[in-house]
């Protein structure tokens, strides 16, 4: 028995103690959560999938549920070739590498997935991280050091902010998707200073895309390097699925593209691709790459197979656009307020009046047999509560009709629409 098992449970600091409860900073959040759950609401952040039937259907709380809140945009998680590659690698190389990429953690599979990425993006270099979060953490903190500047969209993903926090550069935020604000910020910085502008192709909360064509031009005129996180566009947007930078014709001017395997690729992992001739040195100096174990062989094998199949994913991309347009038009016609006037990506965000009604609507949809993501501040911009719908290329047109029927029923039951 461990000695800690003999100690009384320490719920309160002992009397007279001056110990500060470090949890007290979460009191407001604990109270909001308790208030919400005391109404009998199912915990929107505690859903368990008991069985996953396909990329678009799971069993939750014993019932068949259509999945409209995953990032499985291209539906690769059940692709037979992807699964076969993973099983083979598991048999041949074991369950894990137990080491860093720079020590014992580079197998042929890690090189093969980096080759697949270089081919997919037609770029010279690719570096695979254990998650997309770590890719942003690593590249941003390593590239922008003391005396450099990071200029970033205020609605950037948490991993971008955390990458900034890990480094020592000065942070200069600008208003979301505002080209003039970006240009003004850049002009105020010392011309000789190192500058890294960090943008996203698709912003995942509202599903809107960045005006990369104009922004990249502004960055280049100011002598800044540009990093674009294409986490939510890879596989889907652009002629070859390379993302918004490809779709807007500026991919050759982007210095770093960050991406993830946890969305269109259908597994887990992250990466950075680049044409910079000195890129490979990052393998020795990027701490979130060096000081962590590499991805398991089965994961890199599934990723490599998936990425190579995504190169020929035009039919899936076309169908996903059809789904996105159909859902957007249908929700708008029902009277919901959406994050964008037109569908811009595979994410359609439904704006809720407040957290209470957002949570009620989320639960009503779940009872109808539909799972969407409930998103709330601080993850969302401007304090919004959102029901984020992310479509999959494997959703059939009939499923989208079914989804619209569920939104109509839940919307009327909760008073979100008339």
Ligand X SMILES: Cc1ncc(COP(=O)(O)O)c(C=O)c1O
344 contributes a contact to ligand X by CB under 6 A: no
177 is a contact residue toward ligand X (CB under 6 A): no
Does residue 345 touch ligand X according to CB under 6 A?
A: no
Contact region with ligand X (CB under 6 A), list: 15-23, 130-138, 367-375, 390-398: 130-138
Q: Which of 157, 195, 316, 388 binds ligand X (CB under 6 A)?
A: 157
Q: Is 141 in the site for ligand X (CB under 6 A)?
A: no
User: Which is closer to ligand X, CB of 136 or CB of 305?
Assistant: 136
109 binds ligand X (CB under 6 A): no
- Shortest reach from residue 229's CB to ligand X, in Å: 5
Contact 292, 363 (CB under 8 A): no
Give the nearer residue to ligand X in terms of CB position, either 289 or 407: 289
If binding is defined by CB under 6 A, does position 132 make contact with ligand X? yes
294 binds ligand X (CB under 6 A): no
- What residues contact residue 148 under an 8 Å CB cut-off, 6+ apart? 169, 170, 193, 194, 195, 196
Contacting ligand X (CB under 6 A), which of 79, 114, 229, 363? 229
Joined together, the tokens standing for residue 213 give: 């064509």
Q: Which is nearer to ligand X, 136 or 264 (CB)?
A: 136
Handedness of CA 263, 266, 267, 271 (dihedral sign): negative
Asked if residue 136 binds ligand X (CB under 6 A), the reply is: yes
Residue 11: how many other CB atoms lie within 10 Å: 6
Q: Which of 262, 274, 294, 345 binds ligand X (CB under 6 A)?
A: 262
- Binding residue (CB under 6 A) for ligand X from 72, 77, 159, 385: 159
Which pairing describes strands 385-390 and 373-375: parallel, antiparallel, or unpaired? antiparallel
Alpha helices in 335-388 (DSSP H): 355-368
CB-based closest residue to ligand X = 132
CB 325 within 8 A of CB 383: no
Specify the long-range contacts of residues 30-37, CB closer than 8 Å, at least 24 apart: 32/355, 36/355, 36/356, 36/359
CA–CA distance, 240 with 310 (Å, rounded to integer): 8
User: What residues act catalytically?
Assistant: 204, 232, 263
Find, among 147, 97, 129, 120, the residue nearest to 305 by Cα.
120
Name the residue nearer to ligand X (CB basis): 136 or 385: 136
- Residue 66's DSSP bridge partners are 57, 370
Specify the residue, 128 or 400, whose C-beta has the smaller distance to ligand X.
128
Min CB(121)–ligand X separation in Å: 16
DSSP 124-157: SEEEEESSHHHHHHHHHHHHS-TT-EEEEETT--
> Which of 79, 200, 208, 408 lies at the binding interface for ligand X (CB under 6 A)?
200
Size of the site for ligand X (CB under 6 A): 13
- Does 260 help bind ligand X (rule: CB under 6 A)? yes
Counting contacts by CB under 6 A, is residue 153 touching ligand X? no
- For helices 80-93 and 297-310, give the axis angle rounded to 10 degrees: 150
Q: Residue 160 or residue 338: which is nearer to ligand X going by CB? A: 160
Number of C-beta neighbours around residue 116 at 10 A? 23
Indicate whether 204 belongs to the interface with ligand X (CB under 6 A).
yes
**Nearest to ligand X of 262, 414 (CB atom):** 262
Binding residues vs ligand X (CB under 6 A)? 131-133, 136, 157, 159, 200, 204, 229, 231, 260, 262, 270
């Amino acid at each position: 028995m461990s000695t800690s098992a003999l100690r009384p449970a320490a719920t309160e600091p002992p009397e007279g103690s001056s110990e500060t409860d470090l949890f007290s900073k979460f009191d407001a959040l604990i109270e909001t959560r308790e208030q919400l759950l005391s109404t009998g609401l199912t915990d929107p952040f505690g859903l368990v999938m008991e069985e996953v039937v396909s990329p678009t259907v799971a069993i939750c709380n014993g019932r068949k549920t259509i999945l409209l809140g995953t990032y499985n945009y291209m539906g690769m998680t059940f692709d037979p070739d992807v699964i076969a590659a993973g099983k083979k690698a598991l048999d041949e190389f074991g369950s894990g590498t137990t080491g860093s990429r720079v020590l014992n953690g580079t197998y042929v599979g890690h090189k093969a997935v980096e080759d697949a990425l270089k081919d997919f993006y037609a770029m010279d270099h690719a570096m695979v991280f254990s998650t997309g979060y770590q890719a942003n953490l690593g590249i941003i903190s390593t590239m922008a050091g003391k005396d450099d500047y990071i200029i970033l969209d205020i609605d950037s993903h948490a991993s971008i902010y955390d990458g900034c926090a890990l480094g020592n550069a000065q942070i200069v935020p600008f208003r979301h998707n505002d080209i003039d604000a970006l240009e003004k910020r850049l002009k105020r910085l010392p011309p000789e200073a190192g500058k890294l502008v960090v943008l996203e192709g698709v912003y995942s909360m509202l599903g809107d895309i960045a005006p990369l064509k104009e922004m990249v031009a502004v960055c280049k005129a100011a002598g800044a390097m540009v990093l674009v996180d294409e986490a939510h566009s890879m596989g889907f947007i652009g002629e070859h699925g390379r993302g918004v930078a490809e779709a807007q014709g500026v991919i050759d001017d982007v210095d770093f593209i960050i991406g993830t395997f946890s969305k269109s690729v259908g597994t887990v992992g992250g990466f950075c691709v680049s044409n910079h001739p000195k890129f490979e040195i990052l393998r020795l100096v990027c701490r979130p790459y060096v000081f962590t174990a590499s991805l398991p062989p089965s994961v890199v094998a599934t990723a490599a197979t998936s990425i190579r199949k995504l190169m020929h994913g035009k039919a899936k991309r076309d169908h996903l656009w059809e789904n996105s347009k159909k859902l957007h038009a249908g929700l708008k016609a029902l009277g919901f307020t959406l994050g964008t006037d037109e569908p811009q990506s595979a994410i359609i965000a439904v704006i809720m009046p407040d957290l209470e009604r957002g949570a009620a609507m989320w639960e009503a949809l779940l009872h109808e047999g539909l799972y969407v993501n409930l998103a709330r501040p601080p993850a969302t911009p401007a304090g919004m509560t959102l029901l984020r719908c992310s479509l999959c290329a494997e959703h059939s047109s009939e499923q989208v009709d079914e989804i619209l029927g569920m939104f109509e029923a839940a919307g009327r039951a909760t008073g979100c629409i008339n």
